[in-house]
A and B are shown apart, each in its own frame.
Chain A
Amino acid sequence: MARMKFLCDADRCIECNACVTACKNEHEVPWGINRRRVVTINDGKPGERSISMACMHCTDAPCAAVCPVNCFYTTLDGVVLHSKDLCIGCGYCFYACPFGAPQYPKVGNFGSRGKMDKCTFCAGGPEADGSKEEYEKYGANRLAEGKLPLCAEMCSTKSLLAGDGEIIAQIYRERVMKRGYGSGAWGWKTAYRETIES
């Protein structure tokens, strides 16, 4: 089986935010929630870099470890998903996540947390693949249709890569070799406890 991962080549990202928009549109993500965002570090200064970030679908995912109701599960492809039927909106996954991926729609009084929402690697949720219920809760299930996440598929500079970790690491390694430089696979050490040698 593949082990799905994201990789953002910061030397290619031009902060166009198309991945953010594509994600919102594809999954009809509610207002106020961004499953993916682009962060620019040292904005306007020499050496600035932009990185597109979403849930990294960590190995030994911290969100799953701290969830009080154990609503997370990892698919055979290594994608970390959760059940909104079981989620109680306590906020714990959000304290544990290194990437700020889990978010909560504000529901009820005092803006209390609703069911958690995060990137699904375009793989839906526990409902039947491609069902209406699945779409309403988690968005499109592109993986079940044999497609990769839309954010990476339509990235104009092919900065954002999504797919089997071995393959995207190889693509990145070749790029670095060819152009002679690379600022590394951002977040990989935190998420997967490994880096790409270049």
Chain B
Amino acid sequence: MASLAKYVRLALGAWTLLLFVSAAMPTAAQQVNPTASSVKEQQLLQELNRIQGRVSIPDQRSGVLEQPAGREWREFRNVTLRWVGGIAILGMLIALVAFYLIHGMVRIQSGRSGRTIVRFSAFERFVHWMTATCFIVLAISGLNITFGRPLLLPLIGHEAFSEWSQWAKYAHNYLSFPFTIGVVLISLMWLRGNIPNRADVEWIKRGGGIVGHDHPPASRFNAGQKAIYWIVVIGGAAVAITGYALMFPFYLSGIEGMQIAQIVHSIVAVLFVAVMLAHIYIGTIGMQGAFEAMGSGTVDVNWAKEHHSLWLAEEEARAANAGRSNPTATAAE
């Protein structure tokens, strides 16, 4: 009997030990792993670089869970754009100052004739100045968004800078409308004079006569002005379209679209500003007799002869056809 009890005790002990061992063993082996088939974050991000799902709140756009693409955009906005914009704008300013110091103002070689000819109508000048003033405000308020934080904010402090930036934002948003209208009108009213032709090839070959005292023939607009025209039309359209995509979020695209829109908008804009600096230079201190074309609307006949000989010939021929010698030319004094 004693030996039987000993056997029972041994068997019980063995069973108990087995129970303990099995309890201590990981149960995961027998269990279903629900994550085996589940969606995985890294996999989803690798596939599309964004994770999107369904939301039950009305704002369906919030269904985008994650989109790390903002990182590249951040790098562009904080580093690339500042370099591109800084080099383009400062580079242009330095080039213009250097050019002015070396060459000075391009004078009317044969002096003023005292006779003038109408170059731009009142409507053309109105459209030009409407677009120009809008452009200047848009440029300053836009540059403030990119360069204001490192350059202006430390000087005037948080409150003043935010106040100014708030107004600049309103100006940027609202003046975009007259600017866009201006670009559309410019593209229509000056299209005829800005189709590239054979005279432009000759003009470009002779470097526009900008160096030395050369005056290659040009029609109403020379190749340089035509370039400005197309930059305004194409660049203006680009900044307008991308700008409205940013102003009216989600009407045209999602976040990636807006990131791309901001990249196009800002790059085109800083290059636009650089080109316009050159345009302003040549229209003011760069060339004698040029500003009055957009000021009073008339230019000196000798200026026209030197810079737009083909246009002057056309105008004179037209006037002659009309039966009078030169109706548009009037004594300046």
Contacts and interface: CB of A to CB of B under 8 A. Distances in A.
Interface residues on A, range: 35 or more
B78 A66 contact: yes
B197 interface: no
Given A39-B62, A70-B149, A190-B66, A88 B165 contact: yes
A15 B57 CA distance: 11
A38 B39 CA distance: 15
Interface in A52-74: 53, 62, 65-71
Contacts of A67: 149
B325 interface: no
Interface string B52-75: 111111010111111111110110
Contacts of A70: 149, 153, 158
B86 to A, nearest CB: 16
Contacts of B54: 39-41, 43
Interface stretch (B210-218, B242-250, B299-307): B242-250
B149 to A, nearest CB: 5
Contacts of B333: none
A68 B144 contact: yes
B145 interface: yes
Nearest to A48: B39
Given A66-B74, A111-B248, A180 B56 contact: no
Contacts, number: 166
Given A40-B55, A85-B162, A180 B26 contact: yes
B242 to A, nearest CB: 13
A43 B53 contact: yes
A98 interface: yes
A43 B51 CA distance: 13
A42 B53 contact: yes
Interface in B150-170: 153, 158-159, 161-162, 165-166, 169
Interface in A2-46: 10-11, 15, 17, 20, 32, 34, 37-43, 46
Interface in A85-138: 85-92, 94-100, 110-113
A37 B62 contact: yes
A69 B53 contact: no
Contacts of A98: 66-71
Contact of A112 (B39, B146, B247): B247
A95 B242 CA distance: 14
A49 B34 CA distance: 11
B3 interface: no
A50 B329 CA distance: 79
A180 B30 CA distance: 11
A182 interface: yes
Given A95-B262, A181-B33, A183-B35, A71 B55 contact: no
Contacts of B78: 65-66
A47 B37 contact: yes
A163 interface: no
A182 B54 CA distance: 22
Nearest to B63: A39
B153 A187 contact: no
Given A41-B65, A91-B249, A69 B158 contact: yes
Contacts of B22: none
B73 A95 contact: yes
A186 interface: yes
A98 B255 CA distance: 10
B68 A41 contact: no
Contacts of B153: 69-70
A198 B145 CA distance: 44
A91 B27 CA distance: 51
Contacts of A111: 248
Interface string B136-154: 0000000011101100010
Contacts of B68: 98, 190
Contacts of A99: 65-66
Contact of B56 (A15, A51, A88, A183): A15
Given A53-B65, A100-B64, A184 B41 contact: yes
Given A40-B54, A48-B39, A98-B66, A180 B255 contact: no
A34 B62 contact: yes
Interface in B162-203: 162, 165-166, 169, 173
Contacts of B36: 181
Interface string B5-41: 0000000000000000000001110010111111111
A68 B143 CA distance: 10
Contacts of A38: 55-56
